[in-house]
C-alpha cells in the first residue's frame, strides 16, 4: 500500500493505543517489545485503524513503566533497539498506518543525565533545568502543591539543600519550562523522532508543562466539586483547585513552537489534558486555530460516571460551549483507567452500541488495545501488583495494572499467546475465551463489530470530519446529526435495556448501517428501537420522500 502524508490525516482518525509491555513479547522474556508490535501490525491494519499510539519505550528505570524517561533518544533494551523501532515505522507505513509515540516532556526520571547535573550544585549549567525552591524558614515545603501519586509534590535534595518539584513520583522531577534551554532541548527531542519517521506524538500531561513562578498556594476545592476524572477519590490531590501548579497560560506559547517543529513533517499531536474542573476548556484553548496542537484527549468518558444519554448530551453541550473551535480525541478506555466494559458493567449488546456511538461522534478516537475484544478489567492479587499508584492506595484504589495485563492472542496457547515466558503481569483466566483466535471464529464476537464500525466510519466523510449538531435527548435515547456540504447522517442510540419509541424529524431518510444493528423507521416517521439499538439514517437528497 502506498503511504501518503496527508496533512489532515489526524482529523477524525482512529488511533489504536499500544501499551508495549503488554502487547506482544517477541523475545520470550515475559515483556512485550517493539518486534512484537511489528508482528501484530497487520492485525491493527485489518481492524481498520488509521494510526497507532505507542506508549513510552524510551530508556527508563521503569519506576513508572516508561513515563520516567532517562534518555529521550534511545530505546530501553527491554523493548529492543532503535533499529527495531525503525522496523516498526517501516512496517506500519507499509500497512498504511501512521505512528504516534508518547512524548513525556513535563518531567524526566531522576536518573536522566540532565537531572543528575542539575542536582549536583546550584551553579552548574543545568542548575535551572528543573523546578527548585528553597524551604520555608521552618524547613517545610515551599507551598501546598500535591502530587498525583499522593502527598506533597516537593522532595528534599541534600545536595542543593533545596526542594524539587514532582507532580508524580518523587523519582519524576519536573522540568522547568520557564528556562529557554529546556524548551530548545525538548524541541530537539521532537525533531529527532520526526526525522526518524514518526507521524506525530501523544503528549503526556500537556497542561503540566509550566508552573507559577511565584509558587503561590493552590486554593481549596469545595467537597461537592471533587469529581474524580484525573485522580482516585482517596487521593488528597482532589482537595485543591490546581490553578498554580499546572494550566499556566504560557503553555500555549510552547505548544505553538512545537507545532512549528511538526509542521514540515505533516505530523500531528494529541495532548493529554489532565484536569477535573477545566479539562474541556483547556482542551479548547490548546487546540484552537491552526498553530497549536491538532487534538487533545478528553477525560469526560474515562470517569466512573455511567454513560447515559443525558450525560453524553451534557458533554457535547460543554464541548460546544468551550471547545467548539478545537478538536477532541475521544476514548472510553486507556492504560490509566478501569476498562470500560467493567467500569460501566456492559453487556455484549451495550458494548456494541457504545462502540458505535464512539465512532459516530465528532472528533478523533483512541481505542485501547483489547477493548475491541471486550476485555474486562483484570482482578489481581496484591502480590501481583506492579503499579506504584496501586500499592500506595490499596485496597481502596487498586491501581492501573488491571487494565494493563497482556493482550490475549491465542486462547489455547500458554499465556494466551502473549509470551512463552512468565508475563510481567498475569493473563487473567477470564481473558482466554476472549482471545483474538476465539473471536475470529465467533461471528457474534465484539471484534467483528469494531471492524464493521471502523469500516463504516471510514466510508463516510461526515463521520470523520463533518459537523455535529442538533443533539436531542428523549428518555434514554440520544440523537444527533453529522453533516458536510454533500452528506447528512442522523444518528439515534437507545442506551437502555428497555425498548424506546421516538419520532424521526422530517427528511428524506434512508436507513444505513444495517451491519451495525441499525433499525428502519416506520412510514409514519416513528422509530421503534430495541434495547441497546441504534438507528443510522442518511438524507437521500436525490430521492425526495413521498407523502
The model's pLDDT over 32-41, given as tens digits with 9 standing for 90+, comes to: 999 999 999 9
* CB-CB neighbours of 543 under 10 Å: 8
Active-site pick, 204, 275, 371, 372 = 204
How much is the pTM? 0.96
Name all contacts of 514-517 with Cβ < 8 Å and 24+ positions apart: 515/452, 515/456, 516/352, 516/356, 516/449, 516/452, 516/453, 516/456, 517/352, 517/353, 517/356
Output the average pLDDT for the chain.
95
- What would the mean pLDDT of 107-131 be, rounded to a whole number? 98
More confident residue, 177 or 235: 177
Would you say residue 542 has pLDDT above 80? no
User: Which residue in this structure is represented by grid cell 511538526?
Assistant: 262
Lowest mean pLDDT among 276-280, 417-421, 427-431: 276-280
pLDDT digit string, tens, across residues 58-70:
999 999 999 999 9
pLDDT reported for residue 277: 83
Would you say residue 301 has pLDDT above 90? yes
pLDDT reported for residue 209: 98
- What would the mean pLDDT of 302-329 be, rounded to a whole number? 95
Per-residue CA distances from 35 to 31, 260, 417, 540 (Å):
11, 32, 15, 47
Domains of the chain: 14-108+179-457 (3.20.20.80), 466-539 (2.60.40.1180)
pLDDT reported for residue 545: 45
pLDDT category at 547 given cuts 50, 70, 90 is very low
pLDDT digit string, tens, across residues 154-181:
999 999 999 999 999 999 999 999 999 9
pLDDT category at 230 given cuts 50, 70, 90 is low
498 is catalytic: no
* Cβ proximity of 203 and 181 under 8 Å: no
pLDDT reported for residue 229: 59
pLDDT digit string, tens, across residues 435-470:
999 999 999 999 999 999 999 999 999 999 999 999
* Cβ proximity of 359 and 352 under 8 Å: no
pLDDT reported for residue 5: 67
Active-site pick, 68, 76, 174, 272 = 272
What is the rounded distance in angstroms from the CA atom of residue 45 to the CA atom of residue 59? 28
pLDDT digit string, tens, across residues 193-205:
999 999 999 999 9
pLDDT digit string, tens, across residues 4-21:
568 899 999 999 999 999
272 is catalytic: yes
Amino acid at each position: 500500500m502506498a503511504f501518503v502524508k496527508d496533512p489532515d490525516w489526524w482529523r477524525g482518525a482512529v488511533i489504536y493505543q499500544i501499551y508495549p509491555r503488554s502487547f506482544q513479547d517477541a523475545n520470550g522474556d515475559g515483556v512485550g517489545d517493539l518486534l512484537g508490535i511489528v508482528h501484530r501490525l497487520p492485525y491493527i491494519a485489518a481492524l481498520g485503524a488509521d494510526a497507532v499510539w505507542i506508549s513510552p519505550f524510551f530508556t527508563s528505570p521503569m519506576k513508572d513503566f516508561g513515563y520516567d524517561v532517562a534518555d529521550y533518544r534511545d530505546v530501553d533494551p527491554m523493548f529492543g533497539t532503535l533499529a527495531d523501532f525503525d522496523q516498526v515505522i517501516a512496517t506500519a507505513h507499509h500497512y498504511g498506518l501512521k505512528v504516534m509515540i508518547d512524548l513525556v516532556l513535563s518531567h524526566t526520571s531522576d536518573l536522566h543525565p540532565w537531572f543528575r547535573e542539575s542536582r549536583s550544585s546550584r551553579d552548574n549549567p543545568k542548575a535551572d533545568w528543573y523546578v527548585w525552591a528553597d524551604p520555608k524558614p521552618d524547613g517545610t515545603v515551599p507551598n501546598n502543591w500535591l502530587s498525583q501519586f499522593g502527598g506533597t509534590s516537593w522532595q528534599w535534595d541534600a545536595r542543593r539543600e533545596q526542594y524539587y518539584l514532582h507532580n508524580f513520583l518523587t523519582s519524576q522531577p519536573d522540568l522547568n519550562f520557564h528556562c529557554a534551554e529546556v524548551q530548545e532541548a525538548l524541541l530537539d527531542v521532537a525533531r529527532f523522532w520526526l526525522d526518524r519517521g514518526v507521524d506525530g506524538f501523544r503528549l503526556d500531561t500537556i497542561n503540566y508543562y509550566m508552573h507559577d513562578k511565584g509558587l503561590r498556594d493552590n486554593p481549596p476545592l469545595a467537597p461537592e466539586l471533587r469529581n474524580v476524572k484525573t485522580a482516585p477519590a482517596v487521593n488528597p490531590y482532589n482537595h485543591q483547585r490546581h490553578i498554580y501548579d499546572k494550566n499556566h497560560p504560557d503553555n500555549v506559547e510552547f505548544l505553538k513552537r512545537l507545532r512549528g517543529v511538526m509542521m514540515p513533517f505533516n505530523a500531528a499531536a494529541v495532548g493529554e489534558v489532565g484536569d477535573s474542573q477545566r479539562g474541556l476548556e483547556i482542551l479548547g484553548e490548546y487546540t484552537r486555530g491552526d498553530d497549536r496542537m491538532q487534538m487533545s484527549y478528553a477525560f469526560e468518558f474515562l470517569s466512573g460516571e455511567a454513560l447515559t444519554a443525558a450525560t453524553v448530551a451534557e458533554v457535547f453541550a460543554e464541548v460546544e460551549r468551550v471547545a467548539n473551535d478545537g478538536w477532541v480525541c475521544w476514548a472510553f478506555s486507556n492504560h490509566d483507567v478501569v476498562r470500560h466494559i467493567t467500569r460501566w458493567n456492559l453487556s455484549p449488546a451495550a458494548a456494541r452500541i457504545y462502540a458505535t456511538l464512539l465512532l459516530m461522534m465528532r472528533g478523533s478516537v483512541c481505542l485501547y488495545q483489547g477493548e475491541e475484544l471486550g476485555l474486562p478489567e483484570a482482578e489481581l492479587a496484591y502480590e501481583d501488583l506492579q503499579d506504584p499508584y496501586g500499592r500506595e492506595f490499596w485496597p481502596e484504589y487498586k491501581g492501573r495494572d488491571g487494565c494493563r495485563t497482556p493482550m490475549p492472542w491465542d486462547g489455547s496457547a500458554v499465556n494466551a499467546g502473549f509470551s512463552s515466558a512468565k508475563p510481567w503481569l498475569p493473563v487473567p483466566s477470564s481473558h482466554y475465551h476472549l482471545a483474538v483466535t476465539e473471536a475470529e471464529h465467533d461471528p457474534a464476537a465484539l471484534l467483528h463489530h469494531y471492524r464493521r464500525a471502523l469500516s463504516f466510519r471510514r466510508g463516510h466523510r461526515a463521520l470523520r470530519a463533518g459537523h455535529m449538531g442538533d443533539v436531542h435527548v428523549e428518555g434514554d435515547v440520544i440523537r444527533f446529526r453529522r453533516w458536510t456540504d454533500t452528506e447528512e447522517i442522523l444518528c439515534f442510540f437507545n442506551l437502555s435495556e428497555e425498548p424506546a419509541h421516538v419520532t424521526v424529524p422530517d427528511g428524506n431518510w434512508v436507513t444505513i448501517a444495517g451491519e451495525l444493528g441499525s433499525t428502519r423507521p416506520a412510514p409514519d416517521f416513528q422509530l421503534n428501537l430495541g434495547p441497546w439499538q441504534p438507528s443510522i439514517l442518511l438524507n437521500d437528497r436525490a430521492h425526495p420522500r413521498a407523502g
